[in-house]
Amino acid sequence: MTKQGSILIVDDEIGVRESLRMILKPIYEVHTAADGQEALECIRKEKIDLVTLDLRMPGLTGIDVLREIKKIDPTIEVLIVTGYPDIENFRQAIVSQGAFDYIIKPFSVPEIIATVRNALLKRQALFQKTYTDQELEKKLMQTEKGFEIRTRQLREWQIKYRQIIENSNDMILVVQDEKIKFANPKTMELSGYTEEEIEHIPAFQIIHPEDRQRVAECDARILRGEDCPPMYPFRTLRKNRESFWVEANSIRTIWEVNPAIIKFIRDISARKKAEEELRKAYDELKETQGKLIQSEKMAAVGRFSAGITHEIKNPLSIILGGTDFLLKKLSGVDGDVTIALQKIKEAILHADHILMGLLKFSQPSKLVKEKINPMNLINDTLSLLKFRLPFKNIRMITQFSEEALTINVDKSQIQQVLMNVFLNAAEAMAEEEKIFIKTYKENPSPSLGGKPACVIQIVDTGEGIFSEDLSKIFEPFFTTKRDRKGTGLGLPISKMIVENHEGNLLIQSEKGKGTEVSLILPLDEGELK
Amino acid sequence: MNEILIIDDEEDFGYFVKANLELKGEYHVTVATEGKEGLKAATKIKPDLILLDIVMPKVDGLQVLKKLKENKKTQGIPVIMLTAKNDEASISQSISNYSEQYIIKPIQMDILESKIKNVLMILGSQKG
């Protein structure tokens, strides 16, 4: 015969335990426990349908045990069996803790059997019909209430999120299949598109053409779930084609069932501008530092050369005197000796030339200024030039300003500069080429701090200067024509002279194309003397 | 034959100037290597022209020039100043009182010679 349920008898009195066991054993499977702890262990281990529970026990009280049983399995029925009729305890046990009923000791056998049966029947009924109508209604009400609460919570969250998104200082947009599916007000504000327009333009239209590929690659990676820099800068494009720098953070999301990307885009144009200004300031600082180092170097060259030049010139004059003597004495005697002596003499004169340059550096002559038309100055220089160097039939094409210009300069010094520039140009050119010389008024002149200037521009179509050499051409002793007896002092001296006149000497050049030299001198706006 | 006196502490320079100028037999050159010696030689030889170095120890060229011009016996002798010094402006200023010429060392001998010739020619025409 199969047992009709499994019962646990909990009582600290062995007599009660055993008598109950004897009564119930023929019908039910019976377990016993002498205290609360043992009872709970048994319940955890065995499948128990009903517990008969003594309320007064050492250790855990019956009420405690009842509470624990219901925690472990609320469907286990509990029958209180006690020798002390304590109505309040029973009420608590039944109403609050869900006990089935109570029996007061001493009990009759039919009473206990009937109560146990009833308790087990109730349990059975509960299992067979999960909800009575009443319970169903209760459940429905609970569900409805829950739904209402959840709806309200959802609405609250929706409002919160919308406020965050709509008031965000960042553009927030959802992109799916190259379309902008959602954009917050900041997006319209910064892009210049209306809400309607933005839904109809391709998503890449708001990205600078040069950055589109990079952004597209990153988006594709995000959609594939691959790694992508969490934040990266690019330029966006407004409706009016203006671009500005942004920084985006993109994440993968689902939008209307399909994968999409949410982009949080921050306008960083102010930061970029600040960075730009910082870089500019840094570059200017570096340039100033470079100039300082340069002028310090010049000053050092000056101090050094002033001392040493005199010491070298004396022995040079002896060597030159000796060489001249030998040349006269041996001329016609031995051709080779004459050639050798000639070369020695050339070298001495070259060394002297360098020393003269050094002297000009170390002790720049005082300016003896006079007001002069640059046209006359140039023409005088060109006529002087006729006597210098083989000229390869190079033609000088002049184009003077129609307006009569006046500069207040040391004529001989500026002539020296012009001579130097003309000779450099002529040397850089092949036969039969042309040098263009132009004068014009520049007002305001950016290189003279906005003051009016007279610009003398000398353009040649010669071999030009390598860009890496261009930055060094004003350094003393830098020369690309050492083989042609260059001293590396011509341009530094020229620049110094022009700067002593509060002017500027600028050189632009491209290798193979030619060189443009601009001699920018302050314009004298007074009357010609 | 023209008599030239060179006063220069650079003995070797004086030697080569003498050697060069005397090569064609047109000049006779006396070399003095310091100021006092030069002044003595000037009064004694009465040269047609003096080449005078500016930077010299003890008595320098400018002092020698002053003394030459103060002395009636030598004040008529033309002087060409020699210098390896840098500052042309101050040189020309310091000797301008005596309207003398100057030459910056190193100098090519034929240039020196042509300068000497020029000075002597001018002097000759003044005398003549």
CB–CB of B109 and A363 under 8 A?
no
Q: How many domains does chain A have?
A: 4
Residues 6+ apart with CB under 8 A from A60: A35, A36, A37, A40, A68
Query: DSSP states of A189-246 as a string?
Result: HHH---HHHHHHSBGGGGB-HHHHHHHHHHHHHHHTT----SSEEEEEE-TTS-EEEE
CB–CB of A318 and B10 under 8 A?
yes
Q: Among B8, B109, B114, B116, pick the best mutation site for testing chain A contact (most A Cβ within 10 A).
A: B109
* Residue type, position A488, single letter: G
Q: What is the pLDDT along chain A (529 residues), one digit of tens a residue?
A: 567 889 999 998 888 888 889 889 888 999 999 999 999 999 999 889 999 998 888 888 888 898 899 888 888 889 888 776 666 777 777 777 788 888 877 778 888 888 888 888 888 777 765 556 666 777 777 777 877 788 888 888 888 888 888 888 899 999 999 899 999 999 999 999 998 899 899 988 999 999 999 888 888 888 888 877 777 889 999 999 898 999 988 888 888 888 899 999 999 988 888 988 999 999 999 888 887 887 777 677 777 777 788 788 889 999 999 999 999 888 777 778 888 899 899 989 988 888 887 777 666 677 888 999 999 999 888 887 776 655 677 788 899 998 889 999 998 889 889 988 988 888 887 777 888 999 999 988 888 888 899 999 999 888 888 888 888 888 877 887 766 667 788 888 899 899 989 999 999 998 888 899 999 999 987 644 3
Q: φ, ψ for residue A93 (rounded to 5)?
A: -65, -40
CB–CB of A310 and B86 under 8 A?
yes
Q: What 8-state DSSP symbol labels residue A366?
A: P
Residues of the domain holding A389: 369-522
Phi-psi region of A506 (alpha: psi -120 to 50; beta: other; left: phi over 0): beta
Q: What 8-state DSSP symbol labels residue A482?
A: G
How many beta-carbon pairs under 8 angstroms link A with B? 69
Q: Which helix (H) or strand (E) holds A422?
A: helix A411-427
User: Where are chain B's structural domains?
Assistant: 2-115
Q: Cα(A114)–Cα(A323) distance, rounded to whole angstroms?
A: 149
CB–CB of B106 and A322 under 8 A?
no
Q: Are residues A424 and A491 in the same domain?
A: yes
Q: What 8-state DSSP symbol labels residue A392?
A: T
Both tokens of A456, joined, read 């003398």
Three-class secondary structure of residue A424 per DSSP: helix
Q: What is the CA radius of gyration of chain B?
A: 13
The complex's ipTM works out to: 0.84
Q: Domain for residue A143, yes or no? A: no
Nearest to A23 by CA among A114, A96, A91: A114
Residue B108: which of A306, A320, A359 has the nearest Cβ?
A: A320
The verdict on B103 touching A (C-beta cutoff 8 Å) is: no
Q: Domain for residue A477, yes or no? A: yes
Are A363 and A397 in contact, with CB atoms under 8 Å apart? no
CB–CB of B106 and A348 under 8 A?
yes
CB–CB of B16 and A329 under 8 A?
no
Q: Are residues A427 and A299 in the same domain?
A: no
Both tokens of A282, joined, read 């840094």
CB–CB of B107 and A310 under 8 A?
no
Q: What 8-state DSSP symbol labels residue A387?
A: T
Nearest to A29 by CA among A129, A99, A116: A116
Residue A324: which of B85, B88, B109 has the nearest Cβ?
A: B109
Q: Domain for residue A145, yes or no? A: no
Nearest to B115 by CA among B15, B1, B17, B31: B17
Q: Are residues A516 and A378 in the same domain?
A: yes
Residue B23: which of A329, A345, A366 has the nearest Cβ?
A: A329
| Min Cα–Cα distance to chain A from B11, Å | 9
Tell me which architecture the domain covering B2-115 has in CATH. 3-Layer(aba) Sandwich (3.40)
* Residue type, position A486, single letter: G
Residues 6+ apart with CB under 8 A from A324: A345, B16, B20, B108, B109, B110
pTM of the model: 0.47
CA-CA-CA-CA torsion sign (A80, A86, A89, A90) = positive
Q: Domain for residue A136, yes or no? A: no
Range 2-41 of B in CB contact (< 8 A) with A: 10, 12-13, 15-17, 19-20, 23
Q: Are residues A249 and A320 in the same domain?
A: no
